[in-house]
Amino acid sequence: MNQRPPESVMPMLERLAAPGLAKTPTAGIARLTLSGELSRVAIEDLATGFGGTDDGRVRESIMDFAIMVIRECLRDHVLLPDEADFIREMKIHLGIREGDLLDSRDEDVRSILTREVERLFEDGRVDSQEDLFQVALQEALSLSYDEYIELTRESAKRLVDRWVAKITEDGVITGAERQDLNRRVAALGRVYSFTPEQKQRLARSRKARY
């Protein structure tokens, strides 16, 4: 593996690879990663001691390891270039293809996306860096464009629904509230736009066309 593990994942890798831990596929993958020896061949060799690459334990460990690495890289809600590059190369060596993480770790993928969509909405920051972050996040989770949009839209809709309910509770929307909501939705970028139902609720509360 050419890409050196980023600093953000080193503590986790060292913890997983600690000599005193039981011999597991996950520990073996961590040790290969730390030594720079992670490769398809190395994974196949490792898997022979656990029933081969077709053994469910090995495949499960590969998916667990990938999700753990992605979570560590996203701990600060940022994917630095070296982190994105590392994740990309790591998945190649682990044999993870588009859709694999969603198929095998659906709840984890959804949880990660929900957390990041909430952060985007709460920050309400509209800039090119946030757009680039979403592209990197989609790639890190091995999602197609349509999968990413569908999954993030679910989380975004729940957030916007709650916010619309909050600001329309008294039947009046101030200019500041509308501006704030528009900014937060704009921060979601390609992920989201107001639904007809949300527009209607806002229009009824404001007594004007939204």
Domain boundaries along the sequence of the chain: 1-96, 99-210
Arithmetic mean of pLDDT, 140-169: 92
Predicted TM-score (pTM) of the model is 0.86
Contacts of residue 95, defined as CB under 8 A and 6 or more positions apart, other chains included, come to: 40, 43, 53, 62
Span of 9-13, 54-58, 66-70, 150-154 with lowest mean pLDDT? 54-58
**Number of residues in the chain:** 210
For residue 139, is pLDDT > 80?
Answer: yes
Task: Name which of 122, 119, 144 is nearest 133 in CA terms.
Answer: 119
Q: CA-to-CA distance for 210 and 208, rounded, in angstroms?
A: 6
Tens-digit pLDDT profile for residues 39-50: 999 998 988 887
100: pLDDT strictly greater than 60: yes
Percent over 70 (pLDDT), the chain: 93
Residues 6+ apart with CB under 8 A from 90: 1, 3, 33, 38, 66, 69
